[in-house]
Structure 1
Amino acid sequence: MTPPDPDYRQVVERSFQEAAFLSDLGIRLHDVGPGWCETVLPVARRHLQHTGIIHAGVQSTIADHTAGAAAMSLTPAHEYILTVEFKIHLLRPGKGESLFCRAEVLKPGRHFHVVESQVYALDDGKRTLVSKLVATMAVLARPSAEA
């Protein structure tokens, strides 16, 4: 896939730098290319629910933002991405030292992109798929400076 914005990397990097919630959680951009993105999260106690499993909200957040970043990589500079719908499958309990997420655009479109994210728990060198998200991302015109 050819990105319509040659500066897509900077756009994606900025989306991580400017998202305070991601910073609060510790989610970091690992790598990005046309139509895909990878993120990582070192797991801390604050990411766990009461039974010691990685909270579903944490998995949803990393999967959603990574999907959005993958979609951004295929979006023209005068447009931006907004999640309009997603479904997450929590496949097994998330346990591990860190999370790794990879998102890929399944179907880019003029008005909507369909994106899939896979979230893996990494523990002692072993990678286990813990959740999968499919999202619809709206492609919207950036507001003009006068608006």
Structure 2
Amino acid sequence: MVALLADPPPDPPLASRLEAAFARQPFVALLGIRLTLVEPGHVVMEMAPQPQLTQQLGALHAGVTTTLADTAAGFAAMTLLDEGDDLVSVEFKVNLMAPGRGRHFRADARVLKAGRTLTTVEARAQALQDDGQWTDYAVFLGTMITVRPRG
């Protein structure tokens, strides 16, 4: 179940709408990504480490990190859409600042600027270290385009 922060007031329809959209993403389910926080303009997604998702040096594969960050960023943008609208990524850049190593992973995504058609988003990929601290290991900056139903 998605957590909603108390300030602003919880918006169960928003959480339900995002959960339904998330359920239509089998690829992220395959990676074990979970939607853990939803509030307007802000989403957090988490995943446990899995050996089959690492690269040759044992760090989380860059493609998995990018998927985690892109998905969280897209859902952060989706929190500000009108019901019935959808979106897709049209452009992004990922800076991998350190190997993705940790006990758990998350992407904390926020909308930087929401427009009628284009939304700019940022996500920080973070790894939980043995000392209990979350450290940034990648930064994602992207643009999402709103897709409106035809008719």
TM-score normalised to structure 2 length: 0.88
Shift of 1:79: 1.2
Task: Could you tell me which runs of 5 or more consecutive residues in structure 1 were left unpaired when the two chains were aligned.
Answer: none
Shift of 1:6: 7.4
CA RMSD of aligned residues (A): 1.6
Structure 1 stretches of at least 4 aligned residues deviating more than 3 Å after TM superposition: none
Identity %: 36
Pick from 129, 135, 140: which aligns with 1:128? 135
Shift of 1:143: 4.1
8 Å CA contact retained: 1:34, 1:70: yes
Query: Residue type matched to 2:137 in 1?
Result: V
Query: Residue type matched to 1:134 in 2?
Result: L
Match of 1:140 in 2: 147
3-state secondary structure, aligned to 2:20: helix
Match of 2:21 in 1: 15
3-state secondary structure, aligned to 2:143: strand
Aligned residue pair count: 141
8 Å CA contact retained: 1:53, 1:94: yes
Task: Could you tell me which runs of 5 or more consecutive residues in structure 2 were left unpaired when the two chains were aligned.
Answer: 1-7
CA distance in 1, matches of 2:150, 2:139: 32
Query: Residue type matched to 1:131 in 2?
Result: A
TM-score normalised to structure 1 length: 0.91
1:69 aligns with 2:75: yes
CA distance in 2, matches of 1:43, 1:64: 18
